Amino acid sequence: MDKADLLSLYRQMLLIRRFEEKSAEMYALAKIAGFLHLYIGEEAIAVGAIAALRPDDYAISAYRDHGHCLARGSDPGQVMAELFGKATGLCQGKGGSMHLVDAQRRFMGGYAIVGGHIPLATGLAFATKYQHLDLVTVCFFGEGAVPSGQAHEAFNLAALWKLPVIFVCENNLYGEFTAGKDVTSVKDIADRARGHDMPGIIVNGNDVTEVYETTVQAVERARRGEGPSLIECKTYRWEGHVVGEEGFLGKRSYRSAEEIEEWKKRCPLIAFESRFLSRGMCTQTQLDTIKAEVKREIDEAVAFAQDSPLPNAEEALEDMFSVA
């Protein structure tokens, strides 16, 4: 990757970080309702993996989906407006934080049923192969989705039919409030790939270039007709499962302050800065310029969301489907 590409990755990671921080602030001000799941600490995965795709490829995610949507190129103002429940949001304010969709950019949505979207990703890959299209689907999910039956059914069919799908497991160590090691019989999620005869690769999920390079290889393999891959990205979410979880957890804690601080030292943004500044691939002035641009973009996104109208009440039943 050249300097321009690297700086683009940095900018996307920073945009996601600042968007999430601002979302938490707006949630505290009651501008955002419902549950809010933040992606802080995991930015390198969405940015690195999606950078390996073409604009016409597909991406699909779970409920911690802001980062994937932004990495796919969605307008921050429209994303923030969706979180605000405004008519100018990506889904006209009807999807909210957990259900972002930007079909124009081939981001096929965030889904709140754990593991429920993995068969959908497999279906997308099947459809593109059936139509003889040279397209790849990337599916993001947490390690908590892997023990589910639908995940393994999807893995099995994807491998059996050699579908062009990349399964990206964002292993942030906790499924809601439960440590992954307490519910999973294997140390590494990537080992699950063996049971389905597909490659299982472990990467540092806080290193955007490692995620990118690994995904590029998996995408090339899929385009050659060699089937799916499972990429396990080792990472950590800095925030809780949901914003405000302390309100119903009380004094109970499932993570230590020391563990959180230790992982913060591995921040993907700081790691990028120290690595590429020392190599002369970027300058502090360039990084500072990007930081100022991103701050302005996020401020504009919030202003856009605040100034946007709420959906009309008579539109409540539009865009709905029923099965007789």
Task: State the CB neighbour count (10 A cutoff) for residue 103.
Answer: 10
Amino acid at 158: A
Is residue 323 in some structural domain?
no
Is residue 153 in some structural domain?
yes
* One-character DSSP codes across 226-272: ---EEEEEE---SS-SSTTTHHHHTT--SS-HHHHHHHHTT-HHHHH
Rounded Cα distance, 44 and 268, in Å? 6
pLDDT band at 251 (very low <50, low <70, confident <90, very high): low
The residue with greater pLDDT, 250 or 210, is 210
Identify which of 208, 211, 214, 219 has the alpha carbon closest to the alpha carbon of residue 276.
Answer: 208
Q: Determine contact, residues 62/110, Cβ cutoff 8 Å.
A: yes
| Tens-place pLDDT, residues 128-183 | 999 999 999 999 999 999 999 999 999 999 999 999 999 999 999 998 888 888 88
β-pairing verdict for 229-234 and 165-171:
parallel
Residue range of the domain that includes 80: 3-304
Q: What is the pLDDT of residue 315?
A: 86
Rounded Cα distance, 201 and 230, in Å? 6
What is the pLDDT averaged over residues 64-72?
98
Q: What is the pLDDT of residue 320?
A: 80
SS3 32: coil
What is the pLDDT averaged over residues 235-244?
93
Is residue 316 in some structural domain?
no
Residue 255: burial class (beta carbons within 10 Å; 0-12, 13-18, 19+): middle
Retrieve residue 232's tokens: 């396990």
| Tens-place pLDDT, residues 198-229 | 999 999 999 999 999 999 999 999 999 999 99
Backbone phi, then psi, for 190, in 5-degree steps? -60, -25
Is residue 66 in some structural domain?
yes
Number of domains, the chain: 1
Is residue 310 in some structural domain?
no
What is the pLDDT averaged over residues 83-106?
96
Q: What is the pLDDT of residue 293?
A: 98
Is residue 97 in some structural domain?
yes
Q: What is the pLDDT of residue 324?
A: 67
The residue with greater pLDDT, 304 or 319, is 304
Is residue 320 in some structural domain?
no
Residue recorded with tokens 């049923």: 113
SS3 178: strand
Rounded Cα distance, 215 and 233, in Å? 11
- In this structure, what CATH number is given to the domain that contains residue 125? 3.40.50.970
Tell me: pLDDT of 234 over 80.
Answer: yes
Is residue 324 in some structural domain?
no
